[in-house]
Amino acid sequence: MLDMNVDIVIMAAGKGTRMKSALPKVLHKLAGRALLGHVLLTAKQLKPRRVILVTGHDAPKVIAFGADFMPANGQFDLKTVLQEPQLGTGHAVQQAVPELGDEGVALILNGDVPLIEAQTLIELIACSAGKKLALLTVQDGDPSGYGRILRQGDAVQAIVEHKDASPEQRAIQEWYSGVMVAPAAQLKTWLSQLTNDNVQGEYYLTDIVKMAVQDGTGCVALKTTDGLQVAGVNSPVQLQELERAYQQRAADRLMEQGVRITDAARFDLRGDLQCGQDVSIDVGCIFEGSVKLADGVSIGAHCFIANCEIGAGAVIHPFTHIDGGQEKASVGAGALIGPYARLRPGAQLGEEVHIGNFVEVKNSTLAKGAKANHLAYLGDATVGERVNYGAGSITANYDGANKHRTVIEDDVHIGSNCVLVAPVKIGAGGTVGGGSTITKDTVPGSLSVARGKQVSIEGWKRPAKKKI
């Protein structure tokens, strides 16, 4: 892909005052993932030699995030450096110098600019060709506050920061995105020559542009009109705006594949969603982790669906909560789930299973055609084909120390309000009378009743209120 060594510097030392939060800015979430997590995943796609994270404010939390992120998302060489105090973007990159290679290029990214795409970065690296300084510049939206690109004819001459710019310079519409690629050797020289002789008294990374022009290295610009890719997060309002823009793009991609989304403004994807043909998604649904929906799946309004696979033609009625966690959950073809159902890790439902309102299923397998339609709990159970599991029945799977399994064989009918105390097996074709507490295995084909016998006392009188 790239025929040169790339070291990536991610600046994440800034305070993020406007977030008004105890959480470091780069750890705030967009689409369910920390801003810094988005940047690290994009960095990883470039197969860098090394990624250097510049931390400062709340460094321990940011470093801990990096350490946690790595095992879950694949190893690459991640180094962290500390910038203390924070004296500007040039000073930030200076801290990374000891970790930078002597040849190849350095790509500078911001930890709070989450939606930059790998393809754009690859193009920027190609513009640099390992020889020139390459800037990602933007002509989109209001440039105020940003560094402006000064050109002579077509050639980039310098960046002037907004606060240092003259009124004429502030009228320039092309601004610096904060992303650049520099040949590593020259970058080190330029960084050593920075001064803080400017309105803010900061070491500006952007001052290296002049140096590149002066020493003949040269500076090129790749101009984008996609403001979203370079948008930074400074406040909760900006975070929300980026979140909605991200979700709109995610919904657009799915709709282009044929998925029917009732309202893209009420659709949230926090992970990876793969859909077959003729999938429909009603309003207010949230998808997390890894979710696969096969052909013809219909998701009702206000469902939360995480880490699961849903088979062809299954219908998930409104307000259903599915979270398969690490073990995942699966729903068979033609199944009917909800409304108000809850599927937890290890729920594996076969074809045409019905799970109705207020039914919870955890670490259980239900074979084809099994039904639990109302107010029930199935935990650590193996349920056979065509089983009917009555309203209010539960598997008592936990003895206070250990979990035990309940086996319900094919064609069993469990009445309402039963307690199946595990470990226990209900033999095939058997029936359990309503209200039974079953503690012993039952014989196939039998009726099992385990409850107090009914007594009716004739002529019994209700107590009456005493007259005073």
Supply the residues annotated as catalytic: 374
- SS3 state of residue 74: coil
Least separation, in Å, of the C-beta of 153 and ligand UD1?
21
Among 92, 353, 414, 426, binds ligand UD1 (CB under 6 A): 92
Task: Please pick, from the candidates 7, 39, 132, 176, the single residue that binds ligand UD1 as defined by CB under 6 A.
Answer: 176
Identify the H or E element spanning 233.
none
Packing angle between helix 118-128 and helix 35-45, nearest 10 degrees? 50
Question: Is 208 exposed, middle or buried (CB count within 10 Å of its CB: 0-12, 13-18, 19+)?
Answer: buried
Nearest-approach distance from CB 214 to ligand UD1, in angstroms? 18
Distance CA 431, CA 414 (A): 6
Of the ranges 107-115, 341-349, 363-371, 401-409, which one interacts with ligand UD1 (CB under 6 A)?
A: 107-115
Q: How far is CA 266 from CA 210, 236, 243, 284, in A?
A: 47, 19, 12, 5
Contact between 231 and 224 (Cβ < 8 Å): no
Does position 246 interact with ligand UD1 (CB under 6 A)? The reply is no
Which CB, 96 or 291, lies closer to ligand UD1? 96
Pairing relation of β-strands 304-310 and 424-426?
unpaired
CB of 271 to ligand UD1, least distance (A): 25
Please select the residue that binds ligand UD1; options are 130, 178, 346, 350, rule is CB under 6 A.
178
Considering only the C-alpha atoms of the chain, give the largest distance between any 2 of them, rounded to a whole number of Å.
Answer: 111
7 touches 106 (CB < 8 A)? yes
Locate 286 and state its tokens: 């949230």
User: Which of 111, 276, 334, 379 lies at the binding interface for ligand UD1 (CB under 6 A)?
Assistant: 111
**354-365 b/e with 16+ CB inside 10 Å = b?**
bbbbbbbbbbbb
Q: Cβ of residue 147: shortest distance to ligand UD1, in angstroms?
A: 2
Are the CB atoms for 145 and 44 separated by under 8 Å? no
Q: Which residues of 399-425 are buried (b: 16+ CB within 10 A; e: fewer)?
A: eeeeeebbbbbbbbbbbbbbbbbbbbb
| 206 is a site residue for ligand UD1 (CB under 6 A) | yes
Residue selected from 36, 48, 158, 175 as contacting ligand UD1 according to rule CB under 6 A: 175
Number of residues that bind ligand UD1 (CB under 6 A): 28
Nearer to ligand UD1, 26 or 420 (CB): 26
How far from each other are the two terminal CA atoms of the chain, in whole angstroms? 97
Q: Minimal distance in Å, beta carbon 197 to ligand UD1?
A: 13
Choose one: 9-17, 251-259, 368-376, 417-425; the region binding ligand UD1 (CB under 6 A): 9-17
Task: Give the shortest CB-80-to-ligand UD1 separation in angstroms.
Answer: 12
Residue from 65, 69, 146, 246 touching ligand UD1 (CB under 6 A): that is 146
The two tokens of residue 345 are: 């890790």
Helix/strand/coil for 332:
coil
Select the residue interacting with ligand UD1 from 110, 120, 348, 436 (CB under 6 A). 110
User: Hey, how many other C-beta atoms are within 10 angstroms of the C-beta on 197?
Assistant: 9
- The 8-class DSSP code of residue 30 comes to E
Is 89 an interacting residue with respect to ligand UD1 (CB under 6 A)? yes
Closer Cβ to ligand UD1, 179 or 359, answer by number: 179
Strand 419-421 to strand 437-438: parallel, antiparallel, or no bridges (unpaired)? parallel
Compose the 19-58 pattern: x for residues touching ligand UD1 by CB under 6 A, - for all others: -----------------------------------x-x--
- Interface segment toward ligand UD1; rule CB under 6 A; list 62-70, 200-208, 338-346, 407-415: 200-208
Contact 40, 10 (CB under 8 A): yes
Q: Among 100, 121, 124, 205, indicate the residue that binds ligand UD1 (CB under 6 A).
A: 205
Instruction: Locate 278 and state its tokens.
Output: 């003729």
Per-position x/- string for 342-381, each x denoting binding to ligand UD1 as judged by CB under 6 A, each - no binding? ----------------------------------------
Interface with ligand UD1, residue 14, by CB under 6 A: yes
Q: Which of 7, 58, 99, 112 touches ligand UD1 (CB under 6 A)? A: 112
- Residue 186 as a binder of ligand UD1 (CB under 6 A): the answer is no
Told to check if 159 binds ligand UD1 by CB under 6 A, we report yes
Q: Which of these segments, 62-70, 87-95, 365-373, 452-460, binds ligand UD1 (CB under 6 A)?
A: 87-95
Pairing, β 33-34 against β 447-448: unpaired
Among 293, 298, 254, residue whose Cα is nearest residue 276 = 293
**Which residues would be at the binding site for ligand UD1 (CB under 6 A)?**
11-14, 54, 56, 83, 86-89, 91-92, 110-112, 146-147, 159, 161, 175-178, 204-206, 232
